[in-house]
Amino acid sequence: MTTSIKAEYEIDLALHTKDFKLNKIQDFCPLCHSSIKPVYRYAWVDNRGLQAVFECPNENCKKLFIAYYRISTTDERSKLETEYYYSNSEPIRVKEKAFSETIKNTSAQFCEVYNEAQIAEQRRLKNICSAGYRRALEFLIKDYLIQEKKDEKEEIEHKSLFDCIEQYVDDSRIKECAKKAAWLSDGETHYYRKWGDKDLNDLKVIIDLTVNWIESESLAKKIIEEIPEPKKRKKKKKRRKEEKEESDQGN
Ligand SMILES: [Zn+2]
C-alpha cells in the first residue's frame, strides 16, 4: 500500500523537506522479528534513493533500523509523482531456526547448514542461500536413510541424492517433492533455469515437508516399539488368570 513520509534533501547546501511516496513500509522488525507497525523517525533523500529511520515499537526491543528505498525508474510515472520502492533494511539480527531433538539427532549437519543458508538468505545472498538449502536437504535425507539402513551406509553416501530418494523413500508425496529439489542439487541446469525465478520458498517448503515426514516416521516407530502387541497382552492376561486359578485351588 502506497504511503508517504516527510524526508529531508539538500539543494545548494540548503536543507529542504517534503513528502515522498513509498510503495510500502515493512511490517516486521529486522532485529526482534516481531510483526510491527514501525514508528517513523527520520528520512533522507539523495540521488541514490531514500533512507528512512524507523523505531520498533515493541517494548522489549525499541531499536532503530534503516529502511532503504530505490527510486522508481518506471517511465510512465511523471517525475513529480516519483515513488520509492522498498529494497531492504539494516541492521538485521539473524534468527536461527530451532529444530526438534529428532531432527538434531538425525542430522546435526543439516541443522548447521540450514541455519547458514538462512543467514545468507537474510543477508540477501540469493545464490549462496539456494545452494545452502539444497545441501542441507541432502544431509537431512542421506543421514536419515543411513540411520535407518546402517548396512547400506557406503552405498547411500556415494549415491546421488536423486537416486537415494528414488530407491529408499516410500512416501509418494515426499518422494515427488524431494526429487524436484534433488534435480537442482545435482546441477540439472534445465531445471535450475526453470526454477531459478521461482520463489526460494518452494525449496524451503520441501525441506519443511521432509522434516515433518522424518519426525512422523520416527514418532510412529517409537509408538510401535513402546506399545506391546495386543496378542502378547492377551497371553499375559491369560497367564495371570491361570496363576490365580492355581492359587485358588491351592487354598
Ligand atoms: Zn524489534
Say if pTM beats, i.e. exceeds, 0.75. no
Span from the CA of 195 to the centroid of ligand 1 (angstroms): 34
Instruction: Note the pLDDT tens digit of each residue in 149-208.
Output: 889 999 999 998 888 888 988 878 778 877 877 766 554 444 444 555 466 788 888 889
Q: What is the mean pLDDT of residues 97-114?
A: 95
Quick one: pLDDT band at residue 68, thresholds 50, 70, 90? very high
Q: Answer positive or negative: Cα dihedral of 181, 185, 188, 194.
A: positive
Task: Mark the residues whose beta carbon lies below 5 A from ion ligand 1.
Answer: 29, 31-32, 56, 58, 61
25 C-alpha to center of ligand 1: Å? 14
Q: How far is the CA of 23 from the centre of ligand 1 (A)?
A: 22
d(CA 122, CA 30): 9
Q: Are β-strands 83-90 and 14-22 bridged in parallel, bridged antiparallel, or unpaired? A: parallel
Cell 546441477, residue? 187
